[in-house]
């Protein structure tokens, strides 16, 4: 399949109201050509609505949408030249696999011989070579999803839209398909907009992730930056686990419960802030090691409340002096598991200054 | 009664553990009611072959005289032709208009759609006698009485609710996402409907066409008022004949009608069955 | 950029409206058909009913409806017949629907063909079948005499009896179908729970199953009753001229007396009655769902 130059997508001031509800609230978004962008958010956040606006199935109340240089906001869906994969695959049950995939080619009056060749190529791409004559009801869920994918790309669209395509699959298949989709994207290079509510999926597959909530884009960043520097409390809680400690920033010094906390973040306003800690960025120190740790890292002293074994990792809940419970996560090695303290034992949680993330108090 | 029968009788029939034996009267009653429903219509068939004027059962003498009387009569044949023509035209008009309406209302998200749907279903609720005399009154004024066109229009109006109900119910269990997908792949709305939706609701459309035909073919009251002369329907002439005396020819006509209706329904069922298998 | 977006707002609104109209337009032909062939004629009848014999607006037709005893008799007869037919249909149809709902689906579907068959046979054919069966030399009478049940042939047709039999035969499927549907939907777990709590089969039926089947029963009975009110063919053919229901009177007022005023007034009353009963029962059935739907 030829690698056609893909298209960037420009969204400007797109708004959509349903009665009093603002499904999309003045959305601005720039998607780079060839990038894999994920729209991430909880249900009702507006991510699917935005995707539908891109596809042309939902007409916004206002806004501009450009694919490359072309304004498409008023263009009918079938003229936009996009490929789309839906959550429930929506394969045509009255057609065979091959006929399903050939459908967009037939619509575009491609010559019969070319149709057969391109259908086979598409099937090979999704690793279903030879399935052209099969019936739709003979396929498993994963296979159907791949046929839906083949159908969406066979006509070489410049843009690919996907609406939670993997949520109907079981966990193992889903993770396998995530890698498959990513591989396909790298091979074909088309601009891809992917919608999901699964943060892990978003972090795995995307070049950039846009977190959407209440119809607004809260943060648009590469996965790593999104995870390590969430812009507000909502994003921090939505992506990964987190604990929040209230801190005071005064005269350039951050204090928690009176003690100073060393941070590397700069440019923060004075006053009350939230200190976000990720469980895997905390180390557990006991006994003599506590003194050594204090030199480099910040320490939180408390006692062990509970331990939870979770297979590849373990979680220890520590109760601090002021009653706050902070969790730390450790990798399950024999040595680490053997060293887990008993409930009630005094311990300290250490975290590096660069692992401390401060953010404003509003939830976002 | 063999041991096997006895044990079936003693087995519990429901969750409340009542044995079949205690409910035997219920089963017998149900069988009796079904017989009551089915038998009278079916009995007309063998009776129509009775040579006697009083249509005995079982016929003492078999004869085809009533069929000869039917097929040999120019008047009856003309009326039959009219009914078939009207039925076919009604099927075409009602199915086309009803399917389009059902689709348009289903897909449209206007609040008025509900009201329009209700309006389209009113022919079922309005007493047929009112429809009959009303249409007659109107037709007299616009000179549509005793015309095939007038009859087809009135019958189509009666059949449209059926078509709308059947097609709407098919659309409800149809995955509309497929039309969205088809449109995303490059099909305009009309093409998406024709290439993807219609093939999948064709059973419902075919069934409603058959129902529309039968609605017209079997219809009596409106036909009494609105069809006449050269365009009198079979049912109208049958009704008039029956009011005067019990003409045994009607038995032959009835048999033909029963066979025709059953054949059509069977056809619709077979179409549906084959559609699913394919 | 700001002005760009605002411009699109107007265009987008226009697009939305165009699409709405196009889709709505698909239903327009059907709507036109029903309006022209039913709404307008019936409205015309309404109008006629308020036109006196001299051509001016008047209520004389309605006054005659109230004053003349024959009309009162006809209405009473129509209601009585409809009520009797509905009652018999319930007595015969409930057990049938019940048995069907307990059968495995495949067998039930097969039996349903028997119940549905009357639907695709013309009402004329069905009425005629009864005409032949119930006549003096008909099958019923000859069987009855042969089996020694009675000596003289009974007058089973050209009277009220024949009309009732015919109407029950035609209306029964209208009751059985919604009732069957509603019975099928009753969750077996309710009965299991009842048995578990100690209810015997009879009590479980009356306290649990029957109330849950009421919505379907009410719907079916309502349909049957309202359809009976407007019956024409069966009383005309099986009644022998002795059974006159509202529809028969309307027809004779026109065919014999050319009295459009009286006929349309009668028709209007019939329509209003049917509509009123429908509306009232619609409310009641909803209430029924509230109480009857949540069994213990």
pLDDT band at C247 (very low <50, low <70, confident <90, very high): very high
Of A12, A59, A74, the CB nearest to C5: A12
Tell me the nearest-neighbour CA distance from A101 into chain B, angstroms.
10
Interchain pair C1, A73: CB under 8 A: no
State percent of chain B over pLDDT 70.
Answer: 93
Q: Are residues A265 and A156 in the same domain?
A: no
Task: With respect to residue A35, please indicate whether it lies within any of the assigned structural domains.
Answer: yes
pLDDT at B241 over 80: yes
Q: Show residues of chain A in contact with B196, CB under 8 Å.
A: 92
pLDDT at C206 over 50: yes
- Touching partners of A (3+ C-beta pairs < 8 Å): B, C
So what's the pLDDT on residue C7?
A: 61
Which of C3, C4, C5, C13 to mutate: most A Cβ within 10 Å? C5
Q: Say how far apart CA B15 and CA B9 lie, in whole Å.
A: 15
Tell me the nearest-neighbour CA distance from A204 into chain B, angstroms.
27
Which of C22, C34, C48 to mutate: most B Cβ within 10 Å? C34
Strand A36-40 with A191-196, pairing: parallel
Average pLDDT, chain A: 90
So what's the pLDDT on residue C5?
A: 55
Q: Are residues A122 and A226 in the same domain?
A: yes
C-proximal residues of B, 137-166, CB under 8 Å: 137-138, 153-154, 156-157, 160, 164
So what's the pLDDT on residue B112?
A: 79
Domain C69-292 sits in CATH at 1.10.3720.10
User: Structure tokens of B95?
Assistant: 């199915």
Cβ–Cβ under 8 Å, residues A275 and A254: yes
pLDDT band at B274 (very low <50, low <70, confident <90, very high): low
Q: Is B185 on the interface with A (CB under 8 A)?
A: yes
Q: Are residues A232 and A328 in the same domain?
A: no
Interchain pair C5, A59: CB under 8 A: no
Interchain pair A90, B181: CB under 8 A: yes
Task: Please state which of the ranges B48-57, B140-149, B181-190, B234-243 shows the lowest mean pLDDT.
Answer: B48-57
Residue B70 vs residue A257, higher pLDDT: B70
pLDDT at C261 over 90: no
CATH code: domain of residue A280: 2.40.50.140
Count up the domains in chain A and report the number: 2
Residue B99 vs residue C200, higher pLDDT: B99
pLDDT at A314 over 80: yes
So what's the pLDDT on residue C189?
A: 84
> Peptide bond preceding B58: is omega within 30 degrees of 0, i.e. cis?
yes
Q: Are residues A152 and A280 in the same domain?
A: no
Q: Say how far apart CA A60 and CA A77 lie, in whole Å.
A: 13
pLDDT at A332 over 90: yes
Interchain pair A63, C8: CB under 8 A: yes
How many inter-chain contacts (A to B, CB under 8 Å) are there? 57
Interchain pair B156, C38: CB under 8 A: no
pLDDT band at C292 (very low <50, low <70, confident <90, very high): very low
Mean pLDDT of B1-13: 59
Which of C16, C18, C24, C30 to mutate: most B Cβ within 10 Å? C30
pLDDT at A177 over 70: yes
Q: Are residues A233 and A306 in the same domain?
A: no
Q: Show residues of chain A in contact with C11, CB under 8 Å.
A: 74
Task: With respect to residue A2, please indicate whether it lies within any of the assigned structural domains.
Answer: no
Mean pLDDT of A181-199: 92
pLDDT digits (tens, 9 = 90+) for A20-38: 899 999 999 999 999 999 9
Class of the CATH domain delimited by B68-277 = mainly alpha
pLDDT at A1 over 50: no
ipTM: 0.83
Measured CA to CA in angstroms, residue C39 lies from B99, B155, C47, C127, C261 at distances of: 21, 14, 12, 30, 18
Which residue in chain C is spatially nearest to A72 when comparing CA positions?
Answer: C8
Residue located via tokens 């606006």: A53
Tell me the nearest-neighbour CA distance from B57 into chain C, angstroms.
6
**DSSP string computed for A66-88:** EETTEE-TTS-GGGS-EEEE-TT
Tell me the nearest-neighbour CA distance from B29 into chain C, angstroms.
7
Residue C200 vs residue A343, higher pLDDT: A343
So what's the pLDDT on residue C3?
A: 54
Closest listed residue to residue C224, CA positions, set C167, C164, C292, C180: C167
Q: Is B12 on the interface with A (CB under 8 A)?
A: no
Average pLDDT, chain C: 85
Domains of chain B by residue range: 1-38, 68-277
Of C30, C121, C205, the CB nearest to B160: C30
Region of residue B134 (left: phi > 0; alpha: psi -120 to 50; beta: else)? alpha
Closest listed residue to residue B76, CA positions, set B211, B233, B214: B233
Q: Show residues of chain A in contact with C5, CB under 8 Å.
A: 12-13, 62-64
Cβ–Cβ under 8 Å, residues C45 and C267: yes
Q: Show residues of chain A in contact with B175, CB under 8 Å.
A: 88, 90
pLDDT at A277 over 60: yes
Mean pLDDT of B137-153: 89
pLDDT digits (tens, 9 = 90+) for C147-188: 888 888 888 888 899 999 999 999 999 999 889 988 888 888
- Touching partners of B (3+ C-beta pairs < 8 Å): A, C
Which residue in chain C is spatially nearest to B109 when comparing CA positions?
Answer: C20
What is Dmax (Cα atoms) for chain A?
78
Interchain pair B187, A151: CB under 8 A: no
Task: Please state which of the ranges B91-100, B141-150, B266-275, C116-125 shows the lowest mean pLDDT.
Answer: B266-275
Q: Say if pTM beats, i.e. exceeds, 0.90.
A: no
Closest listed residue to residue B192, CA positions, set B80, B84, B107: B107
So what's the pLDDT on residue A210?
A: 96
State percent of chain C over pLDDT 70.
Answer: 94
Task: With respect to residue A339, please indicate whether it lies within any of the assigned structural domains.
Answer: yes
Q: What is the span of the domain harbouring residue A343?
A: 241-359
pLDDT band at A136 (very low <50, low <70, confident <90, very high): very high
Mean pLDDT of A160-172: 90
CATH code: domain of residue A165: 3.40.50.300
pLDDT digits (tens, 9 = 90+) for C19-76: 888 888 898 999 999 999 999 999 999 888 888 877 788 888 888 888 888 888 999 9
Q: What are phi and psi of A330, to 5 degrees?
A: -125, 155
Interchain pair B178, A92: CB under 8 A: yes
Q: Show residues of chain C in contact with A62, CB under 8 Å.
A: 5-6, 8-9, 12
Q: Are residues A152 and A204 in the same domain?
A: yes
Residue located via tokens 């009857």: C292
Mean pLDDT of B254-277: 78
Q: Say how far apart CA A226 and CA A212 lie, in whole Å.
A: 13
Which residue in chain C is spatially nearest to B17 when comparing CA positions?
Answer: C201
Which letter does DSSP use for residue A257 in this model?
T
pLDDT band at B214 (very low <50, low <70, confident <90, very high): very high
Which of A10, A11, A13 to mutate: most C Cβ within 10 Å? A13
């Amino acid at each position: 399949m030829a690698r056609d130059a893909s298209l960037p997508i420009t969204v400007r001031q797109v708004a959509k109201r349903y009665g009093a509800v603002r499904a999309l609230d003045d959305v601005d978004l720039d998607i780079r050509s060839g990038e894999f962008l994920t729209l991430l958010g909880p249900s009702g956040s507006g991510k699917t609505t935005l995707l539908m606006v891109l596809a042309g199935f939902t007409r916004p109340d206002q806004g501009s949408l450009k694919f490359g240089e072309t304004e498409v906001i008023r263009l009918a869906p079938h003229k936009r030249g996009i490929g789309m994969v839906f959550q429930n695959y929506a394969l045509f049950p009255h057609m065979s696999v091959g006929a399903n995939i050939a459908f967009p080619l037939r619509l575009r009056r491609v010559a019969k011989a070319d149709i057969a060749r391109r259908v086979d190529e598409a099937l090979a791409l999704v690793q279903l070579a030879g399935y052209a004559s099969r019936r739709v009801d003979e396929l498993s869920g994963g296979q159907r999803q791949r046929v839906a994918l083949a159908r969406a790309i066979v006509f070489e669209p410049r843009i690919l839209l996907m609406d939670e395509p993997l949520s109907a699959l079981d966990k193992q298949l889903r993770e396998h398909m995530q890698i498959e989709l990513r591989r396909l994207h790298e091979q074909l290079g088309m601009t891809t907009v992917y919608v999901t509510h699964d943060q892990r999926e978003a972090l795995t597959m995307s070049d950039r992730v846009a977190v959407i909530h209440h119809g607004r884009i809260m943060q648009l960043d590469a996965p790593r930056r999104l995870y390590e520097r969430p812009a507000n409390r909502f994003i921090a809680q939505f992506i990964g686990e987190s604990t929040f400690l209230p801190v005071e920033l005064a005269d350039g010094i951050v204090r928690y419960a009176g003690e100073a906390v060393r941070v590397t973040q700069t440019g923060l306003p004075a006053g009350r802030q939230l200190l976000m800690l990720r469980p895997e960025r905390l180390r557990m120190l006991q006994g003599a090691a506590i003194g050594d740790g204090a030199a480099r890292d910040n320490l939180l002293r408390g006692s062990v409340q509970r331990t939870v074994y979770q297979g590849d990792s373990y979680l220890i809940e520590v109760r601090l002096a002021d009653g706050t419970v902070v969790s730390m996560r450790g990798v399950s090695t024999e040595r680490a598991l053997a060293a887990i303290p008993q409930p009630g034992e005094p311990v300290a949680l250490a975290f590096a200054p660069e692992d401390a993330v401060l953010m404003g108090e509003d939830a976002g | 009664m063999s041991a096997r029968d006895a044990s079936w009788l003693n087995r519990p029939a429901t969750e409340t553990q009542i044995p079949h034996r205690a409910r035997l009267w219920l089963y017998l009653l149900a069988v009796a009611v079904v017989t009551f429903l089915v038998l009278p219509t079916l009995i007309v068939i063998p009776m129509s072959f009775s040579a006697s004027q009083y249509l005995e059962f079982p016929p003492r003498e078999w004869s085809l005289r009533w069929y000869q009387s039917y097929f040999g009569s120019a008047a009856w044949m003309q009326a039959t032709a009219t009914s078939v023509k009207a039925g076919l035209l009604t099927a075409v008009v009602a199915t086309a208009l009803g399917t389009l309406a059902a689709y348009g209302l289903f897909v449209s998200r206007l609040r008025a759609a509900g009201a329009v749907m209700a309006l389209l279903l009113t022919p079922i609720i309005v007493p047929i006698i009112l429809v009959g005399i009303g249409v007659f009154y109107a037709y007299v004024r616009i000179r549509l009485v005793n015309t095939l066109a007038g009859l087809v229009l009135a019958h189509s109006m009666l059949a449209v609710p059926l078509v709308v109900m059947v097609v709407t119910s098919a659309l409800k269990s149809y995955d509309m996402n497929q039309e969205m997908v088809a449109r995303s792949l490059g099909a305009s709305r009309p093409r998406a409907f024709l290439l993807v939706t219609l093939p999948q609701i064709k059973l419902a459309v075919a069934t409603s066409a058959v129902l529309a035909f039968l609605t017209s073919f079997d219809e009596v009251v409106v036909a009494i008022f609105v069809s006449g002369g050269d365009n009198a329907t079979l049912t109208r002439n049958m009704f008039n004949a029956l009011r005067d005396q019990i003409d045994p020819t009607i038995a032959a006509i009835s048999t033909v009608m029963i066979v025709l209706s059953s054949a059509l329904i069977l056809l619709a069922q077979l179409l549906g069955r084959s559609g699913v298998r394919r | 950029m700001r002005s760009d977006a605002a411009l699109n707002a107007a265009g987008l609104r226009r697009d939305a409206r165009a699409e709405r109209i196009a889709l709505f337009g698909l239903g327009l032909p059907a709507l036109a058909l029903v309006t022209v062939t039913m709404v307008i004629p019936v409205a015309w009848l309404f109008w006629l009913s308020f036109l006196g014999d001299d051509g001016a607006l008047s209520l004389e037709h309605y006054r005659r409806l109230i004053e003349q005893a024959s009309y009162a008799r006809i209405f009473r007869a129509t209601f009585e017949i409809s009520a009797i037919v509905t009652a018999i249909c319930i007595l015969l149809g409930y057990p049938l629907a019940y048995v069907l709902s307990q059968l495995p689906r495949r067998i039930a579907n097969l039996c349903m063909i028997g119940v549905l068959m009357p639907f695709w046979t013309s009402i004329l054919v069905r009425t005629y079948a009864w005409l032949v069966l119930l006549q003096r030399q008909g099958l019923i009478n000859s069987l009855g005499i042969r089996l020694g049940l009675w000596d003289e042939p009974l007058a089973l047709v050209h009277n009220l009896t024949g009309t009732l039999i015919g109407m029950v035969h035609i209306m029964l499927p209208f009751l059985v179908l919604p009732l069957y549907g509603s019975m099928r939907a009753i969750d077996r777990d309710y009965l299991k729970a009842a048995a578990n709590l100690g209810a015997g089969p009879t009590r479980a039926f009356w306290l649990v199953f029957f109330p849950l089947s009421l919505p379907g029963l009410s719907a079916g009975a309502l349909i049957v009753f309202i359809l009976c009110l407007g019956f024409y063919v069966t009383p005309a053919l099986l009644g022998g001229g002795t059974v006159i229901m509202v529809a028969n009177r309307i027809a004779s007022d026109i065919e014999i007396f050319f009295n459009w005023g009286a006929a349309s007034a009668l028709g209007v009353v019939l329509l209003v009655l049917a509509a009123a009963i429908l509306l009232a029962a619609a409310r009641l059935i909803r209430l029924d769902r509230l109480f009857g739907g949540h069994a213990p």
